[in-house]
Amino acid sequence: MSRPTKSKKTRIFSPPRAPAIRPGPEGGARDQNRRARARKLCAAGLALFLEHGLDVASIDQIARRAGIGKASFYAYFHDKEELVATLLAPFRARALAAMDACLARIRAAAGFEQFARAQELMAAELLATFTDNLDVLRLLLQEARGPASGARRPIRAFYDELVERAVAHNQAARAAGLIRDIHPRVVAFINLGAIERLAVGMLAGAELGAPADVARSLSEVMLAGLRRPR
């Protein structure tokens, strides 16, 4: 896998609400201007968070970078925490959808091979999510180790959601006799650790091979040791 570059797709960050004053009809000129300003604030916030960290980057700096008055910031976001949640929302929705689809496949699996296939499909979608959202991925990895407070709260909450879904995968597979009897949370932490380390390698530009091969290798690592002895 060659060094990842920023996605050329236009990211659409949806503002959490319309301003209370003169919001205008949905799709109208005011609504379009509101969304454009919200996107500028999101882009400015993401850039500053990556440059300086969540704790250091201020609302004043974000507003200046976006070319918008500080008072206008609060028409779109209550605080930095809500801005971070908005930045994270598309990434979070796609990643959790991949994990939920995997759980449905696990519950329908008739044997280990189908369980393995469910894991491989999830790995491929997670890698695609990473590739399409490299800056958000950088922010997640940068801030995930900090305290779960303030602007970092949405990131830590997302990590908790990932863990609980991974635990649910392993509980379902173990209950169905698809995998060995290993504590589901231990397996979840091991697998998520492998995914996180792979993400770090992607961002560092490590040579990893073709995306399909990476997904296959990731699923093989995740499945290592889980197959029940014959």
In the DSSP assignment, the letter for residue 133 is T
Alpha carbons 127 and 211: distance in angstroms, whole number: 8
Least confident of 26-40, 81-95, 127-141: 26-40
> Among 177, 182, 208, 181, which Cα is nearest to 195's?
208
Is the Cβ–Cβ distance between 122 and 99 less than 8 Å?
yes
> Among 108, 102, 112, 229, which Cα is nearest to 178's?
112
> Which band of pLDDT confidence, cut at 50, 70 and 90, is reported for residue 218?
confident
Selected residue with higher pLDDT from 223 and 230:
223
Query: At how many degrees (to 10) do helices 59-66 and 80-108 cross?
Result: 90
Q: What is the mean pLDDT of residues 3-30?
A: 54
The percentage of the chain sitting over the pLDDT mark of 90, rounded to a whole number, equals 60
> Which band of pLDDT confidence, cut at 50, 70 and 90, is reported for residue 215?
confident
Q: What is the mean pLDDT of residues 121-137?
A: 92
> What pLDDT does 14 receive?
62
Is the Cβ–Cβ distance between 73 and 143 less than 8 Å?
no
> Among 142, 136, 123, which Cα is nearest to 45's?
136
> Which band of pLDDT confidence, cut at 50, 70 and 90, is reported for residue 29?
low
Mention every residue, 6+ apart, whose C-beta is less than 8 A from residue 154: 81, 84, 85, 88
Place of tokens 């991974």: 166
> Which band of pLDDT confidence, cut at 50, 70 and 90, is reported for residue 221?
confident
> What pLDDT does 220 receive?
86
Alpha carbons 7 and 14: distance in angstroms, whole number: 18
Is the pLDDT score of 9 beyond 80? no
> Which band of pLDDT confidence, cut at 50, 70 and 90, is reported for residue 3?
very low
Q: What is the mean pLDDT of residues 174-195?
A: 92
> What pLDDT does 128 receive?
92
Q: Which two tokens stand for residue 29?
A: 């000129």
Least confident of 22-31, 79-88, 90-99: 22-31
- Each residue's pLDDT tens digit, 191-211: 888 889 889 998 999 998 888
pTM: 0.85
Alpha carbons 56 and 88: distance in angstroms, whole number: 19
